[in-house]
Amino acid sequence: MAYYIKRLFLFMIDMQPSMCCRHLSKMPREFQSRCRAIQECNSWKGTEARQFLLYLSPVILKDTLNKKMYERFKMLPTTIRCLCCKEFLAIYTDHATSWLEQFVNNYVKYYGN
């Protein structure tokens, strides 16, 4: 799964790197630290990747990806959210597994090699 997330980040760098930086500067104070620019995703720590995936990417990519790609992408942060939250994990484990499989199986179709 990490391979696909990393590839997705690299795909986003090619699309609109400046848009990502604009949103990063508007992060609320409640976040312990701001994640670095998406161009530096190879150097991100786990907390930066999680922050981007769960909180920033749904906002940033809504205006960046075309509608079909965005609808498909939303499956990833939703699934990760279900797997990170104890309350959701108990309820959505089977769904989350299915959503991850769908995301990985359709990755090339929507985002390319």
Residue-wise pLDDT for 89-111, tens only, equals 889 888 888 998 888 888 888 77
Report field, pTM of the whole predicted structure over 0.75:
no
Assess whether pLDDT exceeds 80 at residue 13: no
Q: Report the pLDDT value the prediction gives residue 15, as an integer from 0 to 100.
A: 57
CB 88 within 8 A of CB 80: no
Q: Report the pLDDT value the prediction gives residue 40, as an integer from 0 to 100.
A: 76
Mean per-residue pLDDT over the chain, rounded: 78
Q: Report the pLDDT value the prediction gives residue 64, as an integer from 0 to 100.
A: 78
Assess whether pLDDT exceeds 70 at residue 1: no
CB count in 10 Å sphere of residue 21: 14
CB 65 within 8 A of CB 15: yes
Identity of the amino acid at 56: L
Domain definitions of the chain by residue range: 45-113
